[in-house]
């Protein structure tokens, strides 16, 4: 269990809607390219209220950086896809450390999985504890400039390392790393403007109305369930 999973959900019944074509999306979709089991579902769906807030944030971004865009990396995610990505990320982490799953102890497996779960929600099928992305209330986003070039935020989305922490570069005196932090802060500024909250461990993850949002916001109830 994660602390936010204790938050009560009072599902509001708002529908999932497609993110319209004029909003920039990362294509091909990274998890679909890996074979994640979406079936006939699209990852580019969110709750109606989330879409409205995203559009509000995009308009606000234009007042600060004309012609820049918020780009959607990922949005709706069935629990089956959440499980797929947790398993995939675990295997990638094992390989990155030069290990083989069959040769590591249960204690080491647990330690590595704890690293993974700093950045991935538990793929719980329980309607009382849905992963944030499975509610349609969470989105992973980044920024593109006026030339439609992706802004370098200092680490790629989903990297399992401390570089993913939103304030990792906050105290750096390196010019490039100062820019990384500035652009992360810009993204946070435009997303929180419309009510989103940022994940404590991920510079790219924002949500509104789910359990994680409620926990960060000190709200007693979430309005979006699985």
> What is the rounded distance in angstroms from the CA atom of residue 67 to the CA atom of residue 148?
9
- Using alpha carbons, select from 2, 7, 70, 12 the residue that is nearest to residue 224: 12
202 is catalytic: yes
Q: What angle (nearest 5°) sits at the alpha carbon of residue 81, between those of residues 79 and 86?
A: 95
- Do residues 134 and 78 make contact, with C-beta atoms less than 8 angstroms apart? yes
Cis peptide before 6 (omega within 30 of 0): no
The one catalytic residue among 107, 177, 202, 219: 202
What distances in angstroms separate CA 75 from CA 30, 71, 110, one per listed residue? 12, 11, 28
DSSP character string of 18-71: EPPTTS-B-SS-HHHHTT---TT--SSEEEHHHHHHHHHHHHHHHHHSTT-EEE
* Residue of 170, 172, 169, 185 lying closest to 65 (CA atoms): 185
Tokens representing 21?
A: 């074509």
- Which residues form the catalytic set? 202
């Amino acid at each position: 269990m994660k602390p936010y999973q204790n938050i009560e959900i009072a599902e509001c019944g708002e529908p999932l809607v497609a993110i319209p074509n004029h909003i920039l999306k990362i294509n091909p979709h990274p998890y679909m390219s890996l074979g994640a089991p979406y079936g006939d579902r699209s990852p580019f769906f969110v709750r109606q209220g989330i879409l409205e807030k995203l559009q509000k944030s995009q308009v606000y971004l234009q007042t600060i950086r004309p012609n820049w865009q918020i780009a959607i990396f990922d949005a709706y995610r069935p629990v089956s896809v959440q499980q797929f990505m947790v398993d995939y990320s675990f295997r990638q982490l094992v390989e990155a450390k030069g290990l083989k799953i069959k040769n590591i102890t249960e204690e080491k497996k647990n330690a590595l999985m704890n690293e993974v779960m700093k950045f991935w929600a538990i793929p719980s099928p329980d309607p009382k504890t849905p992963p944030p992305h499975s509610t349609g209330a969470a989105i992973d986003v980044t920024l593109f400039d006026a030339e439609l070039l992706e802004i370098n935020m200092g680490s790629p989305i989903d990297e399992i390392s401390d570089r993913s922490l939103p304030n990792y570069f906050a105290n750096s005196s390196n010019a490039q790393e100062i820019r990384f932090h500035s652009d992360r802060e810009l993204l946070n500024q435009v997303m929180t403007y419309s009510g989103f909250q940022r994940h404590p461990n991920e510079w790219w993850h924002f949500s509104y109305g789910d359990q994680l949002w409620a926990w960060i916001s000190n709200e007693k109830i979430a309005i979006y369930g699985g």
